[in-house]
Amino acid sequence: MDRLVPQLPFPPYAHVPGVTPHPMSDPAGHRMNHVRPRQAALDPTTWRDCDAYCYGFDLWRAGYAWEAHEIWESSWKEAGRVGTIANFLKALIKLAAACVKAQEGNVAGVQRHAKRAEDLLNELKRELSREPTNSTQVHFAGSDVEPLIEFARQLNSSPSGALSLDRSQLGPG
């Protein structure tokens, strides 16, 4: 799948807590002394204009789970931490956190985050399914929600195989 924000480069390494230098607090970190600019909040109807949201998917699909988590967390804060948009972003944060826990070998952490992501995405699906539409698919901010739910289920049911799950087609495209 093509990148959504190809002009933003990937970091020199994917951070894994306890394995690589912390990107922002370790002097050897790739984001040390980096000031994150304020970003625009995600609008689900104009999601392509939100570089942070799109870059989060670029990072996540390429195996930068911790970095995607950080980007989406900033977007979640910009969204006010409550409401439909914030809950969708929180689900993405939880999916990325589950992938980080998989990198750490923390099975319970994978399952905890995956289950919370699944719950949030199912809530979103129920909420959006009440809206009149001609489609059986539920989309939000360019993303088909059902494959994200299925990914969360797979993480939860097979946490030790989480790193081999394909996320390249998840999210907007």
Return the pLDDT at 32.
57
Q: Looking at residue 168, what DSSP letter applies?
A: T
Taking the CA atoms of 22, 24, 25 and 28 in sequence, report the sign of the dihedral they define.
Answer: positive
Q: Are 148 and 120 in contact (CB under 8 A)?
A: no
Q: How many other C-beta atoms are found inside a 10 Å radius of the C-beta of residue 152? A: 24
pTM of the model: 0.92
The token duo for 1 is 């799948």
* Spatial contact of 144 and 138, defined as CB atoms under 8 Å apart: yes
Residue 33: what pLDDT?
A: 58
pLDDT for 112 equals 97
Q: What is the pLDDT of residue 137?
A: 81
Closest alpha carbon to 162 in 114, 102, 115, 107: 102
Number of domains in the chain: 1
- CA 97 to CA 102: how far, in whole Å? 9
CA distance 149 to 99: 14
Asked whether residue 28 is assigned to any structural domain, the reply reads: no
| Residue range(s) defining the domain that contains residue 125 | 49-164
Tens of pLDDT along the chain (173 residues) come to 689 999 999 999 999 998 998 888 888 887 755 656 567 789 999 999 999 999 999 999 999 999 999 999 999 999 999 999 999 999 999 999 999 999 999 999 999 999 999 999 999 999 998 876 655 689 999 999 999 999 999 999 988 887 788 898 899 97
pLDDT at 35: 59
Residue 23 in any domain: the answer is no
Q: What is the CATH number of the domain that holds 123?
A: 1.10.3450.10
Helices (H), 3-64: 51-61
